[in-house]
């Protein structure tokens, strides 16, 4: 584990809380090998879109972390609640970590720097060291906006409630096998595809923009993450709500934002222009 631990956090040794959680979900997902049904697959795919796309990619990342657009509070809260079912810690910790990543990208202060290779940004940073267990001072520094918002504070405090509700609903609809597919397998798929942005999209792919870091545009990761894999574009202008800047760069999360705009739910949307500086869409101002 020499390379994996090159960028370990100040807290030495395994993060046993995360080791147990990651191991448990992978074990619970094993029955997908003999419990296939189209209904179960639908539960996984629809759940992954709701949680991974609307929740993590659009809600936690483009809206709350980077404020790429403005949305009414009810939508902020709804998207964040969706994202809590990703089991990637409460939103305040996730967003603090991502803001730290952008401030110290691919340095020894980056929580999941890719300079040590694939495994540390993929999973090593989660199971070794402090991961996202930030202290109070760090949280106040990186997410003061969320800590001042009572709604977001409550969502972070009770972030395990939505996944518990989803377990009950899926069990009522399709029994324990739908829970395996729609919760356990969906969480595992969501983890690895999200972590691919940290690893593959900092190792393999194209770098059309000189961002001073290892970020790449990786089409494979972009497909799996609804557009988050156009990562070099994102690092060129983190506040841009659109990551796929070329016609052939499919960006499902951007399409969702434009739909929200048509519904009056998204305003002051920041995007790339030809010179690559982020500006607000004129029609959304």
Q: Count of CB atoms within 10 A of residue 17's CB?
A: 12
* Token pair recorded at residue 22: 């990651």
* Token pair recorded at residue 65: 């972390």
* Reported confidence tier of residue 58, pLDDT bands at 50, 70, 90: very high
Angle at 4 between CA 100 and CA 160, to 5 degrees: 55
Angle at 57 between CA 209 and CA 203, to 5 degrees: 40
Mean pLDDT, to the nearest integer, of 76-85? 98
Q: What does the mean pLDDT of the chain come to?
A: 92
pTM of the model: 0.92
pLDDT of 6 over the 60 cut: no
What digits encode the pLDDT tens for the residues 175-219? 999 999 999 999 999 999 999 999 999 999 999 999 999 999 999
């Amino acid at each position: 584990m020499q390379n994996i631990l090159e960028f370990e956090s100040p807290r030495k040794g395994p993060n046993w809380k995360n080791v147990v959680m990651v191991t448990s979900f992978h074990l619970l997902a094993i029955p997908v090998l003999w419990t296939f049904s189209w209904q179960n697959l639908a539960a996984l795919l629809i759940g992954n879109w709701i949680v991974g796309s609307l929740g993590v990619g659009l809600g936690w990342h483009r809206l709350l972390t980077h404020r790429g657009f403005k949305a009414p509070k009810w939508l902020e809260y709804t998207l964040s609640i969706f994202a809590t079912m990703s089991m990637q810690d409460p939103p305040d910790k996730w967003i603090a970590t991502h803001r730290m990543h952008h401030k110290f990208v691919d340095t020894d202060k980056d929580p999941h720097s890719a300079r040590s290779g694939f495994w540390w940004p993929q999973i090593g940073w989660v199971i070794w060291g402090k991961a996202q267990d930030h202290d109070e001072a760090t949280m106040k520094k990186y997410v003061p906006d969320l800590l001042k918002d009572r709604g977001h504070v409550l969502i972070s405090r009770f972030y395990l409630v939505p996944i518990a509700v989803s377990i009950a609903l899926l069990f009522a609809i399709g029994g324990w096998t739908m829970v395996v597919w729609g919760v356990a397998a969906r969480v595992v798929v969501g983890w690895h595809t999200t972590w691919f942005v940290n690893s593959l999209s900092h190792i393999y792919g194209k770098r059309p923009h000189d961002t001073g870091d290892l970020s790449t545009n990786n089409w494979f990761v972009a497909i799996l993450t609804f557009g988050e894999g156009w990562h070099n574009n994102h690092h060129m202008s983190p506040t841009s709500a659109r990551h796929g800047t070329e016609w052939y760069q499919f960006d499902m999360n951007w399409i969702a934002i434009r739909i929200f705009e048509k519904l009056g739910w998204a305003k002051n949307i920041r995007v790339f222009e030809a010179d690559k500086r982020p500006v607000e869409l004129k029609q959304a101002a």
